[in-house]
Amino acid sequence: MNIVLCDSAAQATRLSATLIYREVAARPLVVLGLATGGTMDPLYQELVSLHRACPIRWSDMRCFNLDEYVGLAVDHPMSYGYFMRHKVFDPLGVREVQAHLLRGDAPDPQEECRRYEDAIAAAGGIDLQLLGIGENGHIGFNEPGSSLDSRTRIVHLNPDTLTANRRFFPPGVCQPESAITLGIQTILDCRQIVMLAIGEKKASAVAAMAEGPLSAMCPASALQMHPATTVVLDTSAAQRLRLKDRYRRAGPADLHSA
């Protein structure tokens, strides 16, 4: 696990976006795994800005979304599919055929999980997976207690996750309590992982992920077993790390120059 410390949230966000941008520029046929959530909104804004300043080819890449709420169609305004279409795919010119989205409204959710795993395998696997981290240590919607060898599946969301995400749902709009998510083993199968964590609220989860024991109670700790994970942090998210000085010395210079 390569931990990169940044001086500000803006720097950490720009660096993470630049890593994605560079990957697509260098490998037009890359397969990306893309996340959503509050941390990702400014990252995608930065990614679109990078592309507009120096356009690169997005027409050959393929991507897979990390998760989706059960019961929401891809065109539902509160769905992650809708978020990605309007915030990322349309501004970058990503065509529908390139973007693989989980169908939260699938008639058979279990079959949808199998379909998605098969689609990832048919694409040759995910080359680079973008992740955030929940305050309770979840990645995707893999809540504490998730099996470390789990695959794409339906999960019931913890009360703290529902509370954290309630701000995204306007008054009167029902918030789903279940989701479909890539499993932890599916994430670990990705060839490269970039995680972005911002803010003091993520500090405890970041410390447990990077310096705590490998445990299903902190699903993100499974990334300790991944050979090519880069974790990008601002100072607030990094404040509980005990080895901050070591990470500062070890961080690659070319990443900080982004």
- Residues labelled as active-site residues: 67, 136, 138, 143
Burial class (CB in 10 A: 0-12, 13-18, 19+), 195: buried
Q: How far is CA 62 from CA 112, 164, 251, in A?
A: 19, 30, 29
Nearest to 67 by CA among 12, 138, 169, 16: 138
Structure tokens at 68: 């989706």
- Contact between 219 and 137 under an 8 Å Cβ cutoff? The reply is yes
Cα-flanking dihedrals φ and ψ of residue 66, to 5°?
Answer: -75, -35
Alpha-carbon dihedral angle through residues 220, 225, 226, 228, given to the nearest 10 degrees: 110
Do 46 and 17 meet the contact criterion of CB atoms below 8 Å apart? yes
Integer angstrom CA distances of residue 83 from 96, 101, 209, 236: 14, 11, 27, 27
Q: For strands 62-65 and 99-100, give the pairing.
A: parallel
Three-state SS at 252: coil
Dihedral angle, C-alpha 178, 84, 31, 97, nearest 10 °: 100
